[in-house]
Chains A and B, each alone.
Chain A
Amino acid sequence: MRYVISGYTVVLAILFLYGVQLVWRRRRLNRLVADVEGSRTPDRPQTGIG
């Protein structure tokens, strides 16, 4: 039975961690895109150092 438990644990852990990694990557990329674009919208002109 411990084989079954370890099997479930390993597989689910892998899938879960991969999923978390995906979400993290997406969040980081969204932030990058927002940073780059958001600071350049016409209604927020830059004055000197951002």
Chain B
Amino acid sequence: MTTKTIVQSPRVIWTTRIIGLLALVGTGLTVWLGLWVTPPDQTQGDLVRLVYIHPGVAWVALYLAFGLAAGCSLLYLWPRTRSLFWDRLAAASVEVGVVFNVCTLISGSIWGKPTWGVWWAWDARLTSTAVLLVLFLGYLALRRVPAEPEVRARRSAFAALFAVVDVPIVHFSVVWWKTLHQGATVLNANLSPTIHGSMAWTLLLGFVALTLAFVWMLLVRYRIGALEDYLGSGELDMALLERQSEGVVPPAPDLKAEALAPVDDAGAAPGPRAPAEVTR
């Protein structure tokens, strides 16, 4: 068959599944170790258990996801490496990054309540993370604007670029905001205690498990993006056209419109197709 389809190679499918499985196992193990096996900390007591997941989600959101999105955006903008693959990867990375970012803020806040007594503190790190979240969300909002894939890709890539260069500036400004403020009590409760033994291993496991979770989500989200683009783009029409030219296929009714029609909550397929004419 000469038709171009959106089929994924079995190797990719199985790699995705294995990574997902490893992520699940790793996370489960981290939870078990973190909540039961490891001892409470000298100074922080049981609260140290949150340290097994909070830095993990934070590193994924702030550095891995955002960094990847920035890199992909640059690769898209660079003419020699321009390919919608980078754009889709960037978009997937940002969306998953937003989820991890929210987890970072929530886990940080929950750690902060018993430690500082408040749900939210204008701590430099929390504040920077919050600003980062808004920057991420802006990127996603920009992507929702209907446009040709190339136009959308370009626009998003620029938006990512502008946001990325802002990140270090925001970081420094917020840190100085806290530390240079005259007469303020700097909330210094450190999130990283001196860690050793089983705690160190659990921390490492947490990082690895959450990174694997990110990778799995990234792969699935990328796939979703590719499928959505395929359904909404000319590639599907091309594939249908090729099949039609192979002889037996009647001209399609507007399946693309059907495919993109709003689906009810149960996820049922679109409504009954129009009767097809037979051409032999």
Q: Do chains A and B touch in the complex (CB under 8 A)?
A: yes
Residues in B neighbouring A7, C-beta threshold 8 A: 50, 53-54, 106-107, 110-111
Do A50 and B273 have beta carbons less than 8 Å apart?
yes
Write the chain A residue with the least CB distance to B223. A26
Which chain A residues border B20 with CB–CB below 8 Å?
19
Task: Please classify how large the interface on chain A is, using the bins under 10, 10 to 19, 20 to 34, 35 or more.
Answer: 35 or more
Are A11 and B224 in touch, CB under 8 angstroms? no
A43 to B, closest residue via Cβ: B248
26 A–B contacts, CB within 8 A, in A order = A4-B35, A6-B110, A7-B107, A7-B111, A14-B102, A14-B106, A18-B96, A19-B216, A19-B220, A23-B220, A24-B267, A26-B220, A26-B227, A29-B224, A30-B227, A32-B269, A33-B231, A36-B231, A36-B240, A36-B255, A37-B239, A40-B243, A40-B252, A45-B278, A48-B275, A48-B278
> Which residues in A have some Cβ–Cβ distance to B below 8 Å?
1, 3-8, 10-12, 14-15, 18-19, 22-33, 35-37, 39-42, 45-50
Mark B residues whose CB is within 8 Å of A. Answer: 5-6, 20, 27, 31, 34-35, 46-47, 49-50, 53-54, 57, 96, 99-100, 102-103, 106-107, 110-111, 113-114, 213, 216-217, 220-221, 223-224, 227-228, 230-231, 236, 239-240, 243, 246-250, 252, 255-256, 259, 263, 267, 269-270, 272-273, 275-276, 278, 280
